[in-house]
Amino acid sequence: MGNVLTIILQRLTLGLLTLLIVSIVIFVAVNLLPGDFAQSILGQGATPEAVASIREDLGLDQPMVTRYFDWLGGVLRGDLGTSFAQANFASFTGTDSGATTVAQQIAPRFANTMFLAMITAIIAVPFSIFLGVLAALYRNTVFDRATNIFTLSSISSPEFFLAYILILFLAVLNPIFPSLSNIFEGMPFGERVEKSMLPALTLTLVVTAHMMRMTRAAIINLLASPYIEMARLKGLSPMRVIVKHALPNALAPIINVIALNLAYLITGVVVVEVVFVYPGIGQLFVDSVKIRDIPVVQACCLIFATAFILLNLTADIMSILSNPRLRHPK
């Protein structure tokens, strides 16, 4: 048990170090984006004095290193900063009624993205494992080949292409689901699910292939094991052998690939949210990049990185706990 805790602590330390390095990369990359927020707000005819005044008000005149440590200190305190766009709107109008902090802007959008990820996971994970089990059971058959062709075709296609195909067949030719996911706070749960179905189905098509193929490969790899042969000799049905004996022992690689794809559902939804005008964090990220709202862009990137690192750490730890060979390395 002590060995397991040591390995987990090592993974957590490595994750924190990775997140620190990623925060530096995010800050530098965002601040190197072309364009200037103050210039874009005031227009091309702005005087240098006016631009300098806004940059001073927003702290953009400070050295990059100073601004990084100010930002990092705020993040560690739970303060993601103040939106440049909202702050300027409030200063021009003389009001402060809007949601000016980055956290206030991101919170509802992040909740929407998590809702979409949850709906997608509920559909994709059982569907992928089911397809993987069937493909392993009927390997090298027409069903196995057809399943592989379908899933590889879906993962090889760009997300926006899959999204438009689903819109064409499920919203235009057969109006089953709405083409726009204009959800809002207070919307009934059933209507919210209905409006989220097309983006959820698009993401399902994208992530199914990885999980299905890993499930299939892991199970096939175990079918030659002695205990599987013994189960067969006892007269158990092929489905029972796979579900009861092979699948539980194949969980470690399956958990890894599921966690990686769940991370994608949070970090890779930008294109899908833009296509369906889904009010999630990906849509907010794109809108903020357009207007050079640096604090919001930095916060969105940091949330994406944190979610990806946390889910990878979770997969790593669960693999350690479920695999005796990892718990007791030689």
pLDDT band at 61 (very low <50, low <70, confident <90, very high): confident
Please, what is the end-to-end C-alpha distance for the chain in angstroms?
15
* Residue 249 confidence (pLDDT) above 90: no
pLDDT band at 40 (very low <50, low <70, confident <90, very high): low
**This prediction's pTM:** 0.83
* Residue 93 confidence (pLDDT) above 50: no
The closest of 276, 146, 127, 94 to 204, measured between CA atoms, is 127
CA–CA distance, 265 with 259 (Å, rounded to integer): 10
**What was the pLDDT predicted at 164?**
92
Domains belonging to the chain, first-starting first, are 102-327 (1.10.3720.10)
* Residue 120 confidence (pLDDT) above 90: yes
Alpha helices in the chain (DSSP H): 2-31, 37-42, 48-58, 64-76, 84-93, 102-137, 142-156, 159-167, 189-222, 226-233, 238-240, 247-249, 251-267, 270-275, 281-290, 294-322, 324-327
What value does the mean pLDDT take over residues 47-55? 75
* Residue 92 confidence (pLDDT) above 60: no
**What was the pLDDT predicted at 41?**
66
